[in-house]
Amino acid sequence: MANSRYAVPTKTAAVATDEVAPPSYGGETEEEAPQVPQPTASEGVHPLAVSPEEGLFAVPQEKVVGQCVKLLKLKYTMMMMYINYGDRIRAHFRDVIYAHFKEHAGEEREDAYHLTMKITALGGEPTPKVSTIPDINDLHQIFMVLLQAEKQIIQELRNLSLMAGENLSIKVMLEQMALTDQQHADDLRRMMFCEGGGGGSLP
């Protein structure tokens, strides 16, 4: 992912006839400038690039940032789904299910914050985006839509884990998120079982 914070000056002063001038960032031409390496995920050239001590990524750092941004969008969407569907369910006196949805929304919000901090630390921009929430009032379908969304997040967490390579801190963060989302998915399965597993609009 391209980011202005990764920009590294690439121009130095022109070489004089009798001595080498000290580095300068004036108006020299590109032909006179030496090649300055750009920050990469495999070399600690730039302060925002991960170092071997932290654990190198398996892919360029920009791709890791891009996957984090994708996950952030899914997390924000998941949070809003739990809030919206929870309010609908509570309006029909299903307070027990509402309590679970409220707890899930808070945990998704916390995960989104951790992703935001990581994206910023890696030089990206945590752009807030949310997908359209399906407009449904069938309780079983609500469970199914939420379950599918949780499974999608788990899959994208696995994808990011592969990209993380040797970076232990990201892997630990992802494992914690995966555990939370798997618990959410299991909760939804239990709710469906308790509701009889069938359809039916909210009463």
102 and 12 share one domain: no
Question: What confidence score (pLDDT) does residue 42 get?
Answer: 46
- Dihedral sign of CA atoms 108, 185, 121, 70 in order: negative
> Residue 51 domain-assigned?
no
22 and 114 share one domain: no
Per-residue pLDDT of 116-171, as tens digits, reads: 999 999 999 998 789 999 999 899 999 999 999 999 999 999 999 999 999 999 99
- Dihedral sign of CA atoms 17, 21, 25, 31 in order: positive
Q: Please, is 201 exposed, middle or buried when counting C-beta atoms within 10 Å of its C-beta (0-12, 13-18, 19+)?
A: exposed
Range of the domain at 15: 1-36
| CATH number of the domain bearing residue 181 | 1.20.1260.10
Per-residue pLDDT of 29-84, as tens digits, reads: 445 555 544 444 444 457 788 989 999 999 999 999 999 999 999 999 999 999 99
For the chain, counts of helices (H) and of strands (E): 4, 0
> Residue 106 domain-assigned?
yes
103 and 27 share one domain: no
Question: What confidence score (pLDDT) does residue 34 get?
Answer: 52
> Residue 203 domain-assigned?
no
pLDDT greater than 90 at residue 98? yes
31 and 67 share one domain: no
